[in-house]
Amino acid sequence: MLKQWPADGPKVAWTAKIMDCRMQGAVVIDGCIYGTAQSGNKGLVCLDWKTGKVLWNAPEVAMGAVIAGDGMLYVYAEAGKMYLVKPNSAAFEPVSQFTISEGTNEHWAHPTIANGRLYVRHGDALVAYDIKG
């Protein structure tokens, strides 16, 4: 059964201008929203889901697409770096990073994970990385 809107309409719970995900979206893990800012070089941002409070931001990651899989964040930054980040509300916790070297043009595609592989398209190339275990 669908819940009905309150008679006086939905209410704004909070606002946060630091995360302006225009194309790349965000993910929610354990009460935190992870996404990147498209402007102002704010990088990867972690917000509290209930309050909108900025818990941390990592400008070194820059703008990019954020996905989650197997308890980790995968951030494909527009400069061509893929970051593996452990979700943590207390601090930015990078695990590793590498550069996507195959392909052409902008690094704007959204990566995906399926059957133990990370798929990344960069222009005219599609690269698959084995991420099992």
For the chain, give every domain's residue range.
Answer: 26-103
Percent of the chain residues topping a pLDDT of 90:
58
Which tokens belong to 22? Answer: 């225009």
Residue 69, Cβ neighbours under 10 Å: how many? 15
Say yes or no to pLDDT of 121 above 90. Answer: yes
pTM over 0.85: yes
pLDDT in tens, 62-103: 888 999 998 999 999 888 999 999 999 999 999 999 999 899
Whole-number pLDDT of residue 24: 74
Whole-number pLDDT of residue 22: 67
CATH of 26-103, one of 1.10.3720.10, 2.40.10.480, 2.40.50.100, 3.90.550.10: 2.40.10.480
- The answer to whether the beta carbons of residues 44 and 86 sit under 8 Å apart is no
